[in-house]
Structure 1
């Protein structure tokens, strides 16, 4: 949960290049958008700023305002892919589908802009810095069902291993489908067995080349 962008920041977001997501604004505005997770600074000169997947979502008008009962709108939810196991039941309605699609398109554009060769078929630096959210977005965008608190579906979790996440899914067929989706999106995936429970799970890492 975070405050919605200010009017000035919103104008910067709305004025972003419709294809690349390139931003123009004051240094203070761009820095504030980076801190909110709505923009990133390109690592190579001239170090321009571009929208992140969350920024693309806000720009396309699918930000979701959370209004506590009896209070005026005060906060806005920054997009977060469903990692599975959230307290509330997974939202599968049209608005959620639009949010996920927008975030996925933003992520593909982020890959194109930040991978040295402009490749969109493998993860970028942002994904390696946000492994759980990136893997979950990949799965949710492909139509896989995240687990509810007490229901089946995928669950993406961090691991002690560098640049690796674990994907759990009780249904063996669904687990294999998750593996295929991640591999198609540029992740290296291996299937493993948890020694104590004997449950099968995936270990996935972003492919670099």
Structure 2
């Protein structure tokens, strides 16, 4: 069994950029994380270090000493950016500062694509997005200016009456569902996701007749 990271290593991991996974630390700290498979050194200048998928999983774990044994999510971790998936009770700050924050996160994600996709492509989702489907799809929508559903949305497709999008995980591998009660807005979400490198198809639930998108990251 792999030993858990030391307290110093955990601090470096926790301080990583929430979107790109870029690390900051001493050369010795970064090299130790590389040896443990929690980070990698990018081959191209400036040779920054980034979290591997294993490092991201460590970052998202709740430390054993946490006061509440609940799973920490980006939207509840103080100081960590989280795109709005729709229907949140704890709505992030809105206004110009939120717009700047979302824009910065999106630019960071494009840089992560460039750094981690084998061909350096920025028009195709990267590994981080495939392991964070809901967050990645929501970031693409929010960065393009779409409005997320308000907290009165129940999360149940048939009961969603709040205008705005809502991104929901599905049992299907590498696929999320996007609900938006306004048909034109739903189709605009599909266009945005396709432009961001996703495949999006429009479907109707047989029982409720609710329209929704099924979206997955494009591979080529």
TM-score w.r.t. the length of structure 1 is: 0.69
Q: Measure the CA separation in 2 of the matches of 1:139 and 1:31.
A: 37
What does 1:13-28 align with in structure 2 at a 5 Å threshold? 23=24, 25-26=26-27, 28=29
Aligned residues: 169
Q: Kindly indicate which of the two structures has a greater share of residues assigned to strand.
A: 1
1:87–1:149 contact (8 Å) kept in structure 2: yes
Q: Measure the CA separation in 1 of the matches of 2:32 and 2:174.
A: 27
1:190–1:202 contact (8 Å) kept in structure 2: yes
Match of 1:60 in 2: none
Q: Measure the CA separation in 1 of the matches of 2:41 and 2:171.
A: 27
Match of 2:159 in 1: none
Q: Measure the CA separation in 2 of the matches of 1:109 and 1:148.
A: 30
**Alignment CA distance shift 1:13-1:204 (3 Å):** closer
Q: Measure the CA separation in 1 of the matches of 2:31 and 2:144.
A: 31
2:160 matched to 1:159? no
2:122 matched to 1:111? no
**1:57-98, CA deviations, whole angstroms, 9 ceiling, x for partnerless residues?**
xxxxxxxxxxxxxxxxxx733100000000145643111111
What does 1:72-91 align with in structure 2 at a 5 Å threshold? 76-89=78-91, 91=93
Q: Measure the CA separation in 2 of the matches of 1:120 and 1:87.
A: 33
**1:34-62, CA deviations, whole angstroms, 9 ceiling, x for partnerless residues?**
xxxxxx7348879962389xxxxxxxxxx
TM-score w.r.t. the length of structure 2 is: 0.66
Q: Secondary structure at the match of 2:209?
A: coil
Match of 2:132 in 1: 130
Task: State the 1:152 CA deviation.
Answer: 1.3
Q: Measure the CA separation in 2 of the matches of 1:43 and 1:196.
A: 50
**Alignment CA distance shift 1:126-1:27 (3 Å):** farther
2:49 matched to 1:49? yes
Q: Measure the CA separation in 2 of the matches of 1:87 and 1:76.
A: 15
Q: Measure the CA separation in 1 of the matches of 2:126 and 2:92.
A: 27
Q: Note the residue ranges of structure 1 that are not aligned, 5 or more in a row.
A: 15-20, 33-39, 53-74
**1:173-195, CA deviations, whole angstroms, 9 ceiling, x for partnerless residues?**
00000000000010011111112
2:193 matched to 1:188? no
2:30–2:49 contact (8 Å) kept in structure 1: no
Q: Secondary structure at the match of 1:76?
A: coil
**Alignment CA distance shift 1:31-1:148 (3 Å):** farther
